A and B are shown apart, each in its own frame.
Chain A
Amino acid sequence: MTGVAGTWLIRGAALPGGQRADLRLRDGVIAEAGARLAAAGAQVLDADGLIALPGLVDLHTHLREPGREDAETIETGTRAAALGGYTAVHAMANTEPVADTAGVVEQVWRLGREAGHCDVQPVGAVTLGLGGQRLAELGAMADSAARVRVFSDDGRCVSDPLLMRRALEYVKAFDGVIAQHAQEPRLTEGAQMNEGEVSGRLGLAGWPAVAEEAIIARDCLLAAHVGSALHVCHVSTAGSVEIIRWAKAKGWRVTAEVTPHHLLLTDELAEGYDPVYKVNPPLRTAADVAGLRQGLADGTIDCVATDHAPHPVEAKDTEWAGAAFGMTGLEIALRAVQQAMVETGLLDWAAVADRMSVRPATIGRLSGHGVLPATGAPANLTLYDPAAAPEPVDPATHASRSRNTPFRGVALPGQVVATFLRGTATVLDGKLAS
């Protein structure tokens, strides 16, 4: 087991609601929460000025193992997650082999347990081999030791409307959710970046907003028709937010996520043709960023998910069209959210706890995560210093095996000081605990 176990006393942390408390962590839970608790032999962590968030939960992580261990492994990816304040991540299914059987999801789950930096909850593929033709054995994955509840062909869209309908219906048997990568394939053939003013000028094939919005609208209607749960991955356009707002107003079971990069970056970054800014769905316009922030603020978008997509150097050290899509995100997500949402006054820390821990845990059907710090709650905690001076992001210091962050050199506020997984410190003083 990694990390520093034993009894911990966290002194003077600010809870998400604003009140200050001492927290005693023992036997995996918060044994006591209150004022001026006695040390009584516990290791003491002075949390003056720090916020105690429930351990962050990521609904959308690419850990790349099995198959692309040159980009990331479960060990390196979960280290990165812990350093970013995460206590649970959902590992996407587009590995090699694809996580479309009970065997693969159990392997991923077990490797996560062994690494011990955070919980790894596998996501199962919706269709065999992500092929979009036949359903994978969703029930077998649900019944496996990994207890899969979230299913996604992420990276590919389940574009066949009949197959999507069946998948939504089928997972009702075990309270599953289909997480859709909304991308109409015909409208995005060869697409390289957001279709708009910049793509027209740069001569890069466009990825129109409507290709995302049309699928989201269709899927909301399908989810309503069969009474099932739809989760929309990495929402990237203002129009998508409007459609989801409408679906939620109808009372349909639709949830959605947004990435840190879509909350901060726009398509103009493609100007220099540096593929570190190439991502799917693509960076959009300032109006979209504003719409996404508003949607996250008012709860239309339920949560922030990183879509952490590590790639080896050579996958980005190329011409734009030849480069891989994707950006890393685990280690900067909370800082990016502070920058985009807290500094702008759109979210307070209670709402950050909601969008980065409580709601993603609920959507992922994860027990033991996403519980606000209080006596008896699981001791999954992130201690965060929002007042840490903004530091430029330096990917060379990242624990991820890959370096493809679009925030290189960008000063972001805040620092994750410590992370606790069931009472064991996985991160202390901003470094991996051992």
Chain B
Amino acid sequence: MNRHLLSAADLSRDDALLILDTADELARMSDRPIKKLPTLRGRTVVNLFFEDSTRTRISFEAAAKRLSADVINFSVKGSSVAKGESLKDTALTLEAMGADAVVIRHDASGAPHRLAGWIRGHVVNAGDGMHEHPTQALLDAFTIRRRLGRASGLDGVRVTIVGDVLHSRVARSNVALLNILGAEVTLVAPPTLVPVAVGSWPCEISYDLDAVLPKSDVIMMLRVQQERMTAAYFPSVREYSRRYGLDTGRMGMLPEHAIVMHPGPMNRGVEIAAEVADSPRSTIVEQVANGVSVRMAVLYLLLGGADLLGGADLRGKPRDAKASMENKESMVNR
């Protein structure tokens, strides 16, 4: 594993599979009555959020707490570019407070890369601008693997990602990771909402959702922000929804086994119809639960390394009673 998780594109196939397998193991543990593991006792994880994102922050918070880490939430309101303390000064402050890992969400692409150059702790990218959101891609891959019953990679799985690819860090991370895991990715969007040089990406591009639906094992709908309309990316929400939204009619064109995903938060009635979001094919709630397991795996592997849990133990045996006892103590300490 790398020292940091900055980009899904940095992962090798083995790294990605190790994270997914570890998450599987941790998910199994979280089914037990006491969910907490003592693994990261005494370690400090800082959630450094420059953008409002309650969902991602509480997911990382839950993950760190289940591993018994001390969690500090540091939210900085307003744009990074606005005057105030610089990212570097914030980073050095956190360093001085003894952060072992910093989970960063920032509106500037590459902010986690810069942070990694300034602090000694591990950096986890929780979404940077229009660049990447690697743990989202990992939890999506984890969800696909479980739902489609894959044991290892996602070789040959046909994944269609629909929506605002241009501005989407979720799309970038997913294209990279799904490609690493062997899936076949198709992006569907109005031509205004894909990067001009998207031809160099390891995926297919289509402007026609209906043509792609029957050939999709997974369909992933991206959130479309209504303010894109004012910048002339598309004429109206209604037209966007008509051409690129997933309604029940379109869901019917999917193969029987296909699943519907959305990273949230959804615009019901815009990119996805309520009936689709709430259908049995939808994995949207599962994705949230899986997010905690995947983020636990990432923190565990970055901070603990294999030695903390005795390496191979993690992959096989459940934790013993002694560990559970330690676990209780750490809960009291919170």
A interface residues, Cβ below 8 angstroms from B:
192, 195-197, 199-206, 208, 272-274, 314, 317-322
Contact = CB atoms under 8 A, between A and B. Distances in A.
Interface in B128-186: 128-132, 169, 172
14 contacts: A200-B200, A201-B9, A201-B172, A204-B109, A204-B110, A273-B114, A318-B86, A319-B110, A319-B114, A320-B111, A320-B114, A321-B109, A321-B129, A322-B108
Contacts of A204: 109-110, 129-131
Contact of A200 (B80, B106, B111, B198): B198
B80 A272 contact: no
- Counting from the closest, the 9 A-B pairs by CB-CB distance are A273-B110, A200-B195, A203-B131, A203-B130, A319-B108, A321-B108, A203-B109, A197-B197, A319-B111
B3 interface: no
B72 to A, nearest CB: 21
A319 B200 contact: no
Nearest to B106: A319
B201 interface: yes
A215 to B, nearest CB: 19
Contacts of A201: 9, 172, 201
A200 B205 CA distance: 14
A205 B130 contact: yes
**Max chain A CB contacts within 10 Å: which of B196, B198, B201?**
B196
Contacts of B169: 203
Contacts of B107: 321
A321 B80 contact: yes
Interface string B84-112: 00111000000000000000001111110
B81 interface: yes
Interface centre among A195, A199, A319 (most CB of B within 10 A): A319
Nearest to B6: A273
Nearest to A201: B172
Contacts of A314: 86
Contacts of B86: 314, 317-318, 322
B119 to A, nearest CB: 14
The winner among B9, B86, B109, B131 for most chain A CB atoms within 10 A is B109
B315 interface: no
Q: A192, A203, A314, A320: which has the most chain B beta carbons within 10 Å? A: A203
B219 to A, nearest CB: 23
B197 A196 contact: yes
A273 B198 contact: no
B90 to A, nearest CB: 11
B87 A319 contact: yes
Given A200-B196, A203-B128, A272 B108 contact: no
Contacts of A321: 80-81, 107-109, 129
Contacts of B106: 319
Given A317-B86, A318-B88, A322-B80, A202 B109 contact: yes
Contacts of B196: 195-196, 200, 206, 208
A319 B132 CA distance: 15
B10 to A, nearest CB: 11
B113 interface: yes
Contacts of A318: 86-88, 114
A288 to B, nearest CB: 14
Nearest to B169: A203
B129 A273 contact: no
Contacts of A200: 195-198, 200-201
Scoring B106, B130, B132 by chain A CB atoms within 10 A of each residue's CB, the highest score goes to B130
Contacts of B81: 321-322
A119 B137 CA distance: 58
Contacts of A322: 80-81, 86-87, 108
Contacts of A320: 108-111, 114
A284 to B, nearest CB: 13
A364 B129 CA distance: 42
A203 B6 CA distance: 13
Given A203-B132, A319-B106, A322-B87, A272 B113 contact: yes
B172 A319 contact: no
Nearest to A273: B110
Contacts of A274: 114
Given A202-B131, A273-B113, A321-B129, 19 more contacts: A197-B200, A200-B196, A200-B200, A202-B109, A203-B110, A203-B128, A203-B131, A204-B110, A206-B196, A272-B113, A314-B86, A318-B87, A319-B87, A319-B106, A319-B110, A319-B111, A320-B111, A320-B114, A322-B81
Given A273-B113, A320-B108, A322-B81, A203 B197 contact: no
Contacts of B131: 202-204
A204 to B, nearest CB: 5
Q: Which of A196, A314, A318: most chain B Cβ within 10 A?
A: A318
Interface hub of B87, B195, B198 (most chain A Cβ within 10 A): B195
B96 to A, nearest CB: 17
A264 to B, nearest CB: 22
Contacts of B113: 272-273
Contacts of B109: 192, 202-204, 273, 320-321
B185 to A, nearest CB: 15
Contacts of B172: 201, 203
A29 to B, nearest CB: 52
Nearest to B110: A273
B91 to A, nearest CB: 11
Nearest to B86: A318
Contacts of A202: 109-110, 131
Contacts of A196: 196-197
Nearest to A189: B231
A272 B201 CA distance: 19
Contacts of B198: 200
A188 to B, nearest CB: 13
Contacts of B80: 319, 321-322
Contacts of A199: 195, 197
Contacts of B130: 203-205
A272 B128 CA distance: 14
B114 to A, nearest CB: 5
A321 B132 CA distance: 15
